[in-house]
Structure 1
Amino acid sequence: MALALAVVCLLSIAVGARSIPVPTVLHTLFERDASDAAFVVWDLRIPRTLIGLAVGASLGVAGAVMQALTRNPLADPGLLGINAGASAAAALSISVLGLTDLRAFVWFAFAGAAIAGVALYLIAGRGGASPVRLALAGTAVAAALSGLTQGLTLLDRGTLDQMRFWTVGSLERADGATLARVAPFLIAGLVLALFLARPLNALALGEDAGTALGANLGRTRLLSLVAITLLAGAATAAVGPLMFVGLAVPHMVRTFTGPDQRWVLPYCVVVSPTLLLAADVLGRVIAPEEIDVGVVTAFLGAPVFVWLVRRSKVARP
């Protein structure tokens, strides 16, 4: 898996509107010069690849944690309203404050995701929230915030023009400054999620069995929500909402790791960015004009997920 990720990263740097031979890419990586190829590699392709690595790993892990937390095999980062919170806050910042630069409203998008996570925790009943209540509360929060976003974009043409690019989900418009803004949150979320692997295993056995095994259910749920908010919120703020990455990747991983979160989460860190970057590279070459990665993941993710379901029974998280 690590080798596949390395190959995809190399393709992400080499392939694009201007393809660069792999030997030239390798030479430029080790000896930067003043050539046009070096500018494309270092200033355009490498930041885009790093964004894809960080966002892909974050969405895959967020999806795995969410499926384990809710014990719902169809859970993804959009189920609990985190993505909807980021979108609503981004729309508000554009409509009310007139922000037009991605680097300007990325903080608002992350703040919206955090507020949605807090609202979900309060509505669901804090530490005693059951998986069903979390899912229902998340659906309600997502519906309300999605309605707010749609209302703002319908009433304000400027907001619509800005949001229609961001809501598709794209790695192209994110840069090194955007990655620097969200990286601390992504790293904190990944570390926290990996730390929760063992308590999530206990939680998957049910409340009584988990308590008997020494897991603090309230604390595990709270910290899981914090990890999901950090990961999905920061990733969505950076590149917009991406569909099916957090939903499908944990199922793909569990086909060869089993349900143990101590294996599922680390593998999601590797597999998820591999698929996201592969989709991004595919979007650059399948049409005369580049197709945003959000469109590619949505177009390919649905049939892949259906194939996984039909191939074998969906693995329980």
Structure 2
Amino acid sequence: MSVPRQCLRELGMIGAGVMALVAAFALNMAQGEARIGVGDIIRSFAYNDDLLRDVVSGFRLPRATIGVLAGSAFAVSGALMQSILRNPMVSPGILGISAGSFFFIALATIFAPALIVFMPIAVAVCGGLVAVLMVYLLAGGFRATPLRILLAGLIVAMTISSITGALLLLYESEARFLITWSAGSLRQNGWSNVQLVWPWIVLCLIAAFTLSRAYDIARLGEDTARSLGQKHALLVTATLIVVLVLTGASVAATGPIGFVGLVAPHLVKLAGVRRHAALIPAAALWGSSLLLAADSITYMLGSLTSAPPVGAITAALGAPWLLWLV
């Protein structure tokens, strides 16, 4: 395939991702307990409707914004892990990183609330790191095959999730705010979570894009990459840090949301995007679009108090995808 044609395919996927994100963002902004359309939202700012503007700027706009940030973070994390491990079946949720991050958030909420107040992202990153180490040891270290990594990740994720669920039941009063959030939720009350996580997510996305060329070389294989002068161990370490921070920051703001990091990169790859300079931004766009669309579906299935969590919708979409990959 010629280079110009490949570039056109990559630009087309990025352009389609931008349009999908705009549509998903507008759809998400229109969802809620009160029926407010996109036109009403625009008019609320144009004609100084204070009540409507407060609803939009205090609840719906932060919700959509955190969806963009978390969706892009989960999707790029999945793309980086699939590239560096050369395993198409991995993602932060499948390897237990999301579950580990939330487990540590639950522990800190119950036994050390001050940690959640002052360093929630650090707590989540530590939990994700512990989960990665457990998967690595259980899968057999360097001898691990893609299927063993997948199975070890699922075992660790389910085990940690079960322990977390037990903690939430045993310490219901201390963790009452986490119970409904444990399956993932984009609902926000103001901009505090957005202000907390956006610098970390944006910096990590920029770092991932900066390493695009290194990921293209790493895809050729460890021996080939080393022969070309690449320090593979350093790249793996940098990737792990980026993935842990992206996932930890997202889980700290939205709770554990699975399968976005699995589905979004594969959608981009199925369209023929291979170079990471295009794969990373395209995955971020489509991950955000998928998460916002899934959140919009939750409001279509129930009211504010009875709607299913967004994690249930992404699982319903992503589980068949994982079975197909296996």
TM-score (norm 1): 0.83
Aligned to 1:172: 187
Tell me, in whole angstroms, the C-alpha distance in 2 between the residues paired with 1:283 and 1:139.
Answer: 25
Measure, in 2, the Cα distance between the counterparts of 1:141 and 1:107: 25
Question: 2:228 matched to 1:213?
Answer: yes
Which amino acid in the other structure matches residue 21 of structure 1? G
The answer to whether structure 1 residue 295 and structure 2 residue 309 are counterparts is no
The structural deviation recorded for 1:158 is 2.8
Quick one: which of 120, 125, 135 aligns to 1:108?
Answer: 120
Quote the offset at 1:153 in angstroms.
Answer: 3.2
Change over 3 Å in CA distance of 1:106–1:25 after alignment to 2 = farther
Q: Alignment partner of 1:242: what SS?
A: coil
Q: Supply the AA of the counterpart residue of 1:107.
A: M
Counterpart of 1:200? 215
Q: Distance in 2 between matches of 1:279 and 1:286?
A: 11
Shift of 1:144: 6.9
Which residue pairs with 1:17 in the alignment? 33
Spell out, residue by residue over 1:27-58, the C-alpha distance to the aligned partner (whole angstroms, 9 max, x if none): 334x3624432222111111111000100011
Structure 2 residue 24 is matched with structure 1 residue 4 = no
- CA change 1:282–1:139 in 2 (3 A) is closer
- Determine the structure 2 residue equivalent to 1:74: 89
1:62 equivalent in alignment to 2:77: yes
Task: Label 1:200 to 1:131 Cα distance change in 2 as closer, same or farther (>3 A).
Answer: farther
From 223, 237, 240, the counterpart of 2:252: 237
Runs of at least 5 residues in structure 2 that lack an aligned partner in the other structure = 1-16
Which has the larger displacement, 200-209 or 287-296? 287-296
Q: Deviations over 1:128-151 (max 9, x none)?
A: x74838948867875775565355
Give the conservation status (yes or no) of the 8 Å contact 1:51–1:174.
no
- Stretches of structure 1 lacking an aligned partner (at least 5 in a row): none
- C-alpha RMSD over aligned residues: 3.1
CA contact (8 A) 2:94 2:259 kept: no
Task: Please state how far the C-alpha of 1:175 moved relative to its aligned partner.
Answer: 3.8
* Alignment correspondent of 1:26: 42
**3-state DSSP of counterpart to 1:157:** coil
Q: 1:115 to 1:20 in 2, by over 3 A?
A: closer
Note the alpha carbon deviations across 1:253-296, whole angstroms, 9 max, x for none: 10113332222111011111111111111111123433321121
TM-score for both structures, normalised by structure 2: 0.81
**% identical aligned pairs:** 30
Tell me what 2:3 maps to: none
Displacement of 1:106 in angstroms is 8.4
- Distance verdict in 2 for CA 1:273–1:3, change over 3 Å: same
Residue deviations 1:198-229, cap 9 Å, x none? 21222222111111222210111011001101
* 3-state DSSP of counterpart to 1:73: coil
